[in-house]
Amino acid sequence: MHQDEYAPHVSEAISALGYVKPEYASVLEALMPRCMTEHPHAVAREIRKTGTQITDDEKTRLGIKRNGFMSREALSMLTDHGKQHPLLALENTLLRALFSCYRERHIEELYELQRQCDKPVFALIKGAVADCPGCAKLDLKVRPSEAAAQFPIVGCSRDACAVLMEADIDFLTGVN
Ligand SMILES: [Zn+2]
């Protein structure tokens, strides 16, 4: 995946969550390839760890323990809203963009499967968490062309919901 292809996912995550200043979108895009192999928690933690740390007083004001990491550079990426969730702001923005990338890839795979298969291919979208009012409503069987329109999930209360999608092939079509 080329770095440009992460751009729409990163920009959706930045605007939906409002934790990271939009001018840092390119910084997050550059981190996305790493998030494909390393959990965003580890990637974000390293960004917080690298560079000059803020003072203990500043940490206390932000609700961060003294042994928690927060570099000046990492803090400057956050909006006022992001500073209310300083340890999760970057991580959850990356995680949301990552799930969005995965879904886009999956939808492309479904198109590819449809090209190779003479039976109708559907995307089965499953709610991953029953306690999320938006995701609990999911249990949809849609054509690949309609799958992307289900996201972002309306009414999803989480920063980054890991909604699963799987291929469902209608093998019985045309069979009597
Ligand atoms: Zn949800």
Same domain, 7 and 91: yes
Instruction: Give every CB contact of residue 60 below 8 A, 6+ residues apart in sequence.
Output: none
Whether residue 174 is contained in a domain is answered as no
Residue ending a domain, among 41, 68, 96, is: 96
Q: How far is the CA of 157 from the centre of ligand 1 (A)?
A: 5
Least confident of 65-74, 90-99, 104-113, 158-167: 158-167
Domain range spanning residue 126? 103-169
Q: How far is the CA of 16 from the centre of ligand 1 (A)?
A: 13
Residue ending a domain, among 96, 128, 154, is: 96
Q: How far is the CA of 174 from the centre of ligand 1 (A)?
A: 36
Q: How far is the CA of 12 from the centre of ligand 1 (A)?
A: 16
Least confident of 7-11, 40-44, 99-103: 99-103
SS3 167: strand
SS (H, E, C) 88-134: CHHHHHHHHHHHHHHHHHHHHHHHHHHHHCCCCEEEEEECCCCCCCC
Residue 78 DSSP one-character state: B
Whether residue 81 is contained in a domain is answered as yes
Q: How far is the CA of 155 from the centre of ligand 1 (A)?
A: 7
Q: How far is the CA of 25 from the centre of ligand 1 (A)?
A: 24
Same domain, 123 and 46: no
Q: How far is the CA of 11 from the centre of ligand 1 (A)?
A: 19
Least confident of 38-42, 52-56, 57-61, 139-143: 139-143
Q: What is the mean pLDDT of residues 101-128?
A: 89
Q: How many domains does the chain have?
A: 2
Same domain, 89 and 154: no
The pTM score is 0.90
Q: Give the pLDDT band (50/70/90) at residue 112.
A: very high
Q: How far is the CA of 175 from the centre of ligand 1 (A)?
A: 37
Whether 176 shows a pLDDT value over 70: the answer reads no
Whether residue 175 is contained in a domain is answered as no
- CA dist 117 and 103 (Å) reads 21
Predicted local distance difference test score (pLDDT) of residue 161:
84
Residue ending a domain, among 96, 118, 138, is: 96
Predicted local distance difference test score (pLDDT) of residue 138:
84
Q: How far is the CA of 152 from the centre of ligand 1 (A)?
A: 9
Q: How far is the CA of 142 from the centre of ligand 1 (A)?
A: 19
Q: How far is the CA of 130 from the centre of ligand 1 (A)?
A: 8
